[in-house]
């Protein structure tokens, strides 16, 4: 994790603290960077004893043949339009990788069995990667493929859901 990433995590912690939002449970992907991010947020919130729960279902989508390539190398090999389609499309994924549709199928059971029940019992914090979070937002907010293809979730941003007892959304607040 870069120093910039560490500062973004601390900033999320400060913003949650300012709103007096302290999680009862914290979920993150199984990857070390999200665990470190969650731990930094908890440190700022003075909740070091709360252990982030690593879930591989919250891992970033599998980019298949694009894994390990930077953007210029991928564009040089497959072209800008094809790479952009693979990155943003709901249904089209890179060869040997996942589409956002595949990611949604992987994340939905986790959302229904772990994230929503935790949120209904208290305050749940989810720290994950961009496409995993896009899939969570798509499922939570009932977004269609066109809307989710345009959805941007900036690093370090916060999306706060207020839920009714039946898990329907009463309010959504987005803090960029």
Residues 59-96 pLDDT 10s: 999 999 999 999 999 999 999 999 999 998 999 999 99
Confidence of residue 135 (pLDDT cuts 50, 70, 90): very high
Average model confidence (pLDDT) across the chain? 96
- Mean pLDDT confidence for 101-125: 97
Look at residue 55 in the predicted model and tell me its pLDDT: 98
Confidence of residue 46 (pLDDT cuts 50, 70, 90): very high
Distance in angstroms (rounded) separating the CA atoms of residues 124 and 140: 14
Distance in angstroms (rounded) separating the CA atoms of residues 28 and 136: 13
- Mean pLDDT confidence for 19-38: 96
Look at residue 167 in the predicted model and tell me its pLDDT: 94
Look at residue 70 in the predicted model and tell me its pLDDT: 94
Confidence of residue 50 (pLDDT cuts 50, 70, 90): very high
Distance in angstroms (rounded) separating the CA atoms of residues 176 and 164: 24
Look at residue 152 in the predicted model and tell me its pLDDT: 93
- Mean pLDDT confidence for 32-61: 97
- Mean pLDDT confidence for 140-163: 96
């Amino acid at each position: 994790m870069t120093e910039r990433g560490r500062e973004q995590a601390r900033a999320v912690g400060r913003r949650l603290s300012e709103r007096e939002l302290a999680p009862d449970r914290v979920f993150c992907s199984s990857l070390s960077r999200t665990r470190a991010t969650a731990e930094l947020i908890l440190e700022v919130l003075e909740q070091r004893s709360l252990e982030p729960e690593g879930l591989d279902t919250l891992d970033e989508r599998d980019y298949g043949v694009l894994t390990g390539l930077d953007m210029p190398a991928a564009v040089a090999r497959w072209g800008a339009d094809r790479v952009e389609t693979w990155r943003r499309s709901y249904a089209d994924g890179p060869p040997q990788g996942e589409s956002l549709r595949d990611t949604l199928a992987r994340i939905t059971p986790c959302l229904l069995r772990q994230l929503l029940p935790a949120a209904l019992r208290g305050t749940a914090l989810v720290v994950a990667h961009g496409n995993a979070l896009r899939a969570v937002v798509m499922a939570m907010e009932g977004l269609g493929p066109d809307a989710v293809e345009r959805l941007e979730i900036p690093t370090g941003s916060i999306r706060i859901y207020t839920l009714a007892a039946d898990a329907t959304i009463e309010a959504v607040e987005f803090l960029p």
